[in-house]
Amino acid sequence: MVSALLACFAGKAFFVKMTTAEEYQAERNRLELNRALDWSSFNAEFILVGEELNAMTVGVWFDLLAVKSSMLYSDNPTISSIVDYVWRNSKKNTGNKLIKECKLFWIDTKIRRCLKSVDRDLFIEALYAHLTTR
């Protein structure tokens, strides 16, 4: 089986015939690159409400999908969903129940303050920038 791939070189478009094996190899290379990017050490630094956030991971993304978080399913996320999101991605996330409750209280307080301030739109923009950044 032979298929064609539209290529562009020096501003001119032309078709390149690809065999099934070449097609398979091209797709495999594309998939391997995308998988490798998930393990890349590059990440943008995000600090929201005083919390330094880890890079967004596939695991957190699926957690948000599983609980149908308003971060993904609504234009106006709830304060509790924002607190949960910041906590899940925080570099200071801990399993210690006492520290966790204290941190969640302060994150909630800072988010409420931020949402009432004039910087509300900047905060929401930064939040969604982290959500959509790999």
* List of the chain residues with pLDDT < 70: 1-16, 34, 37-44, 134
The domains of the chain are located at 2-38, 46-132
Each as own residue / partner, the long-range contacts of residues 126-129 (CB below 8 Å, 24 or more positions apart, any chain) are 126/46, 126/48, 127/48, 127/71, 127/77, 127/82, 127/85, 129/46
**Residue 8: predicted pLDDT:** 45
CB 86 within 8 A of CB 111: yes
**Residue 96: predicted pLDDT:** 87
**Residue 103: predicted pLDDT:** 92
